[in-house]
Amino acid sequence: MTEEASLRFERYQLTDDIDHRLEPKRDRDRLMFSYAVQRLGGVCQVASVVDGHVFHNRLTHTLEMAQLGRRLAERLLDLAPASLDLKVHLDPDIVEASCLAHDTGHPPFGHEGESALNACMEVGPQVDGFEGNAQAFRIVNAIEPYRPNLIGLNLTRATLKALTKYPRYSATGEKKYSWYSTEAPVVEWMYGGDFQMRTIEADIMDLADDIAYAAHDLMDFTRAKVIPLYSLLNSRDSMDYVYAQFLKARTRHAKRLDPISLGELMRSVIELNHEYDGSRMQKAQLRQSSSNIIKYFRDEMGVASDDKGFPQIVFSDDARSQLAFFKFLTEFFAQEYDQILSQRMGYNKIVRTIHFAVSESLANGRPAPVPRGEIDTFSKLSEVMGVDQASKRSASDFVCSLTDLQAVSIYQRIEGISSATFLRYSDG
């Protein structure tokens, strides 16, 4: 192993483990069998089950994204010229590991839960808010149980960098960031005090996330008849209307796109012969369409050297804008769907209620709504920050250990709603 590779695959906590697997494979396997990844099977992606429709949850999205990230990495390794020596900077197992870890910081109920927790943290100049990416970094480094004598999963430097989508702290004032101040020692070790731009492995992880979201969630909501995909493909008025909304929401991307050529692209990758009716043929057409979208954006990717000789992904501005539009379709139509809107209102209330109950009990020494043993980050946090902020951060950690159904159950207990009472009211 070269000196550069040994630094990439070094771990923050030194151990005497002896294993036949290479370090990147060990990272991938640790994450695959982690509680944090397993929990994602009970966390919704965009919407929970609506009218009996099956949507991707966080786990199915994560597994498909991880497979896609690995394939994109393998393709770039095949495409790269020998002079680039891409293998020194890119390992498919590291990409897959970062993909598996990327959503572990999401609380119950997806982005609605994330917004609720950020509001609960009372963000200020010296106070970290809540951000899913930063929470994922915190989970793998400080929370996930793996070995009795270790803290977190003790991942390699390469995987932690690949997980760093936004290489900055919350104190920068940006909406998106990858680290809380609580993980500063790991971050300093990771970069050696010299912060860099994100790695090519992080770039692949990010693109795999976007492509999987664009392809799979678009098909989910078409099957649920939330997105009128056939009308968009065949009605210029429908396309013009949605494009106008895209222009308002994504001005930077929309300026690069022509709605006519965008419509032609959609018709070239989406196969749908009439309004979706749930037939086996149309399910197969949507499955083919999902595959076509992935292949299209995969083929738009390349690799080259930047001005410092480091490898970087080549992905045109037009392709990024097209991908942004495919993602926007789901965002736009899902937010227009009344049942999802009403769900989100409830999601926000559940998360806020649990966070307040847990943080108040910790800060004031009162009985918690759950066994104290399940809230195990408070004592350590209170040693390095005030009790108030330690209780809020620990409450956020706890909420991010729950599935959607666990959160509903705890909320009902806090509010005094027993299952029997709930059934009586629901029966009228």
| pLDDT by 10-residue block (mean), the chain, 428 residues | 73 84 95 96 72 76 96 95 89 98 94 92 75 97 91 95 93 86 94 82 96 91 88 89 87 75 90 88 92 95 86 90 91 72 81 94 84 81 88 94 93 79 43
pLDDT in the model for residue 422? 44
pLDDT in the model for residue 428? 41
Helices (H) and strands (E) in the chain, counts: 22, 2
DSSP assigned state of 217: I
Cβ(163)–Cβ(98) below 8 Å: yes
Cβ(183)–Cβ(12) below 8 Å: no
Q: Which two tokens stand for residue 192?
A: 């050696």
| Radius of gyration for the chain, computed over Cα atoms and rounded to the nearest angstrom | 23
pTM of the model: 0.91
Give the number of other CB atoms < 10 A from CB of residue 310. Answer: 13
Single-letter amino acid code for the residue at 331? E
Give dist(CA 409, CA 136) in Å, integer.
24
Could you list the beta-strand ranges (E) of 159-290: none
Task: Give the CA-trace dihedral at 63, 69, 70, 73, to 10 degrees.
Answer: 180
Nearest C-alpha neighbor of 230 from the set 285, 284, 296, 280: 285
Q: If phi over 0 gives left and psi between -120 and 50 gives alpha, with beta otherwise, what is residue 17?
A: beta
**Residue 303, beta-bridge partner list:** 313
Single-letter amino acid code for the residue at 236? R
CA–chain centroid gap for 55, Å, is: 16
Exposure string of 141-167, with b = 16+ CB inside 10 Å and e = fewer, is: bbbbebeeeebbbbbbbbbbbbbbbbb
Residue 234 DSSP SS3: helix
Exposure string of 69-105, with b = 16+ CB inside 10 Å and e = fewer, is: bbbbbebbeeebeeebebeebbbbbbbbbbbbbbbbb
Burial class for 348, CB neighbours closer than 10 Å (0-12, 13-18, 19+): middle
pLDDT in the model for residue 334? 78
